[in-house]
Amino acid sequence: MGGRAEQATYHLVCNGDTGHVEVVRVTFDPEQISYRELLDVFFAVHDPTTLNRQGNDAGEQYRSVIFYNEEEQRRTAEDAVAEMTAAKLFSQPIVTAIEPAGEFFAAEDYHRNYYNENSHQPYCMFTISPKLVKLEKKFGGRLRA
């Protein structure tokens, strides 16, 4: 999402020529979990202080961004960033962009449900699994893939 190219395949996005960002589309029931709680999850599972980088992955496609669908979501995201900044939750400034949602391009089949299909790979075991444990403790069964 968020790019200038008419197509966004994994390989095109990885080349860094499209302006798109690798994102997750989240569908949620606000009766079960609030948008603000989802933002808390977002900020708990990645580093919002590194520009165009997440861990060892670097490039514009790894920039920290929240794509909103309505103005209330935009305001909530901006408020969350302001609150975390004021509370100094991170040692560096938050660089997360907040932008209107555009067209979502679904990943190719081999890239969908990546963790579920590849949970024994080292990246999944050492990077994703600990985050899932942390989130399970905080949110219990309220988060499901």
Q: Which two tokens stand for residue 136?
A: 């399970």
Q: Is residue 1 part of a domain?
A: no
Cβ(46)–Cβ(64) below 8 Å: yes
Please tell me whether residues 127 and 94 are part of one structural domain: no
Cβ(128)–Cβ(118) below 8 Å: no
Q: How far are the Cα atoms of 5, 67, 103, 125, 140 from residue 113, in angstroms, in the given order?
A: 24, 21, 20, 15, 20
State the total domains in the chain.
2
Structure confidence by residue, pLDDT tens digits, 2-48: 988 888 888 888 888 888 998 888 888 999 889 999 999 889 888 89
Please tell me whether residues 52 and 67 are part of one structural domain: yes
Predicted model pTM: 0.84
Please tell me whether residues 30 and 54 are part of one structural domain: yes
Please tell me whether residues 130 and 90 are part of one structural domain: no
In this structure, what CATH number is given to the domain that contains residue 61? 3.30.1060.10
Full domain range(s) for residue 127:
113-145
